[in-house]
Structure 1
Amino acid sequence: MRKLEELEKSDKPFFLAVGLSKPHLPFVAPTKYWDMYPEASIAMPEIREMPGNSGKYTMRLAGELGNYYGMPSRYEDIDDETTLILRRAYYACVSYADAQVGYLLDQLDKLGLRENTIVVLWGDHGYKLGDYGNWCKWSNMDIDTRIPLIFSVPGGRKGEVVDIPVEALDIYPTLTALCGMEEPSHLEGKSLIPILNNPEHRAESKEYAFTIWPQNRWNYDKTIMGYAVKDGRFNYVEWVKLNTGEVLEKELYDHQSDPGETRNVIDEEEYQEVIATLSAKTEERKAATDHDHGFKSLR
């Protein structure tokens, strides 16, 4: 907020990136936010079992939670009492972070900057709070890869909700276009201006969103990479041995009949044409991905 006061005094355009660490672990927030969620209002997760027909790589154990005092070790289940406390604390952290966003937006109003400032709010991943009997992130399922993504553009449409698949990669080209800047040639994302201007927009070609999540990323020769492609209805996942290209497992979830992703329908005959299409899109993504990443030399 103090930085905004400094920037307001300059006649130059500014870019301000603000990182909010909550609701990341540890789930600690001021008491007032904890009190917003009475104990009786907290429920256990609706889906507590792994998806039917899930495989070895569908999810990994949530080791991150076990790093904190009082938490069970990696291979132990979390009891219901602890689950409810963790869920309540997570909600408190979300409201705490939300309040910080409010302070920043109020400051933009106070300084008279709101009418010519683009605001983008997003998170880096979703989260499991006992859902599927699992915790934290570590999967290519919708609950882990779906993120909040909100644009506020001066003079733009307000209160619109869009269900077209997009990616965090699209933020950069969208901002360069909104600011009238030349887009660098290396960007992988696409400008979302057509959608921002017309939420009913449908591109000439079908839209897809991709996610990539590795298992055993510290040991490149043993890394199993999970590639997922989503088209608005389906979430298709391939788990690939990175150093050989061997496909070890596949998953397909149909959000039309199963929005909670409770059943992997990869073996069902009616979906084989869809699987072929999404598999081809996955191959395109794998071919376009640079796997010469830093983890290869870390250990």
Structure 2
Amino acid sequence: MVRRGRLIWIILPVFLICVKAFAFQLKENKSPNILFIFVDDLRTDLGCYGNEVIKTPNIDRLAAGGSVFKKHYVQVPTCGASRCSLLTGMIPKTEDHLSNEAIRKYISGEPEKEEPETFIHHLRRNGYFTVGIGKISHYIDGLYGYAEKPEGAAPELPYSWDRFLFNAGEWKDGWDAFFAYADGTSRITEQRQVRPYEMADVPDEGYPDGLSAKLALEQLDSLAEGEKPFFLAVGFFKPHLPFNAPKKYWDMYDRDEIPLTLSPFVPENVNPASLHNNPEFNRYLLGEEKPTLEKPASEEYAKKIKHAYYATVSYTDAQIGKLLGKLESKGLEENTIVVLWGDHGWQLGDHRVWGKHTLFEKALNSPLIIKVPAIKKQKKEIGKIVSTIDIYPTLMELCYIEMPYKTSGRSMAGLIRGKHTGKWQEASYGYFNSGITVRVPRYRYTKYYRDEQPVTELYDHWKDSEENLNIASDHPNIVKKLDKILEKGNTGLYLNQK
């Protein structure tokens, strides 16, 4: 009996250690939740990307615990088309794929098929409870035009959501909320007789993104009690135009400390057709100036608009902080993957452009941050060139879900772990404005299928990171080499225009 008792005391601790290890392994293999934060028109002006002026403490805190992709590029520099590539994992194949109507044309209204309509649909089929809030695809609360009302509007993504929510507040519908001013009006109701910015002394809920954050907090309370893993997508409007934010976020900045662009001129050896005269920005008819390529914004006005943009970014950052805080308070942080994605960049006077819709670096480079709690030693900064289309297969691998459907992207999970095996092909393609661009480690090479000359542009990012000088005509051998890489991305758009 004595020996048996001693044996029990020897075996018991070992048994308990094994049980604990097994339980931990079960926890590690449990399907993770996903919080996916969509931010409209967000460029890489963030603290975690090296901007020392802008105030983004919550995004920076997320970045400190995750992986920051320094060279992430979207496929199309416009909202709806970029989101189409994200959701489907596919590069554009037709000119319609470059439009904000891409999802509406190719996904909405179709019968459910064997291949999922989006990666969210694929998650839902594999046991996830999916919830969307705000601007996730392009249409905010159903398919209807700017001047129409949403009654009876069909969903844009009919099979992706278990639950889709939006609180339009006093603006009453999604499109008016998208272009909202604090008094309940919008760019639409005021027929564009508004400024492209506003500083209102209101709380966070005085603009629609504050209402979206509040909805998301309520959903996290509910989802924390659910039995299924969840996918919660939260789409914030800001910093999309109009650059409207509560006064307290404007007050965070001394305007004189906000730097102006390092590329204030049209690049050398570039046709103006590669750029534009700011039609979206100048649509706000009460703006004090209407900058163009020939008549740029004054330094004073440029600082004012950049101040407005920074204020909206800080406003969005505060809403993101609320979501991260709720994850922690509900005990969800250790089993929730968090993704922050900007749908494209935005040129803040760079090359005299105020907007997106170009194939330049500032329009295609956008933030991507992924935090995976199950990976204890994530690679903090990832300098490899990656694309938005890589997000779909990455999430499937991180969630232990098979990928029976071929997409254009590759999983970045190995990069996040810092253990990528094999060679990572660094080439990201962008499409717009009758052109294709490819970003490789040293160069950006762009080719336009148009009459205006020159049709090729080459920028050496080792010497000219602002893309101020097109050197294509001086380096025909490099152009020839990169042209072969670029044409690999021409999968149908311009095959008949070589």
* Aligned twin of 1:296: none
**Partner AA of 1:273 in structure 2:** N
Aligned to 1:239: 448
2:271 matches 1:47: no
Tell me by how many angstroms 1:70 deviates: 2.0
| Alignment deviations for residues 260-279 of structure 1 (CA, whole Å, 9 cap, x no partner) | 111001011xx333222221
- 2:204 maps to 1:204: no
Cα pair distance change 1:68/1:177, threshold 3 Å: same
- Of the candidates 145, 149, 152, which is equivalent to residue 371 of structure 2? 152
SS at match of 1:267: helix
Identity %, equivalent residues: 36
Q: 1:274 aligns with which of 457, 467, 478?
A: 478
**8 Å contact 1:57–1:249 — kept in the other structure?**
no
Residues 240 and 248 in structure 1, CA contact (< 8 A), matched pair in contact too: no
Equivalents in 2 of 1:49, 1:248: separation in Å? 18
Distance in 1 (alpha carbons) for counterparts of 2:494 and 2:389: 15
2:339 alignment partner in structure 1: 120
Q: Given the superposition, is the C-alpha separation of residues 189 and 164 from structure 1 closer, same or farther in structure 2, using an over 3 Å criterion?
A: same
| Aligned Cα root-mean-square deviation (Å) | 2.2
Could you tell me which residue of structure 1 aligns to residue 463 of structure 2? 257
Kept in 1, the 8 Å contact 2:378–2:417? The answer is no
* 1:110-189 alignment runs, 5 A limit: 110-156=329-375, 157-158=377-378, 160-189=380-409
Q: Name 2:305's counterpart in structure 1.
A: 86
Matched to 2:408, the amino acid is: E
| Cα deviation, residue 206, structure 1 | 3.2
Alpha-carbon offset, residue 285 of structure 1 = 1.0
Task: Give the count of matched residue pairs.
Answer: 275
Distance 2:372 2:441 in 1: 25
- Aligned twin of 2:322: 103
Provide TM-score, normalisation by structure 2: 0.52
| Cα distance between partner residues in 2 of 1:247 and 1:181 | 48
Tell me if structure 2 keeps the 8 A contact 1:120–1:150: yes
Residue-by-residue CA offset, 1:168-218 (whole Å, 9 max, x unaligned): 11111100111011114231111001101117x47426321111113xxxx
**Conserved? CA contact 1:227–1:239, under 8 Å:** yes
Q: Which runs of 5+ in 1 are unaligned?
A: 215-224, 292-299
Alpha-carbon distance change, 209 to 86 in structure 1, aligned in 2, over 3 angstroms:
same
Rounded to whole Å, the distance in 2 between the matches of 1:82 and 1:148 is: 26
**For 1:47, what is the secondary structure of its paired residue?**
coil
- Distance in 2 (alpha carbons) for counterparts of 1:290 and 1:166: 23
In the alignment, what sits opposite 1:229? 438
Shift of residue 124 of structure 1?
Answer: 0.9
Q: CA shift at 1:20, angstroms?
A: 0.9
Are residues 248 and 46 of structure 1, via their aligned partners in 2, closer, same or farther at CA, if it must alter by over 3 Å?
closer
The TM-score with structure 1 as length reference comes to 0.86
Range 27-36 or range 73-82, more displaced = 73-82
How has the CA–CA distance of structure 1 residues 57 and 184 changed in structure 2, closer, same or farther, with 3 Å as cutoff? farther
Paired residues of 2:262 and 2:466 also in contact (CA < 8 A)? no
C-alpha distance after superposition, 1:149-186 (max 9, x if no partner): 00000132346111111001111110011101111423
For residues 45 and 205 of structure 1, do their structure 2 counterparts lie closer, same or farther at Cα, with a shift above 3 Å needed?
Answer: closer
Structure 2: which 5+ residue stretches go unaligned?
A: 1-216
Task: Give CA deviations for 1:57-93 in whole Å, capped at 9, x if unaligned.
Answer: 3212210011114224475542222211101010011
Q: Deviations over 1:237-284 (max 9, x none)?
A: 01114xx9x99701010001111111001011xx33322222112211
Partner of 1:285: 489
Residue 17, structure 1, aligned to residue 223, structure 2: no
Query: Taking CA–CA contacts closer than 8 Å with sequence separation of 6 or more, which of the two structures ends up with the larger relative contact order?
Result: 2
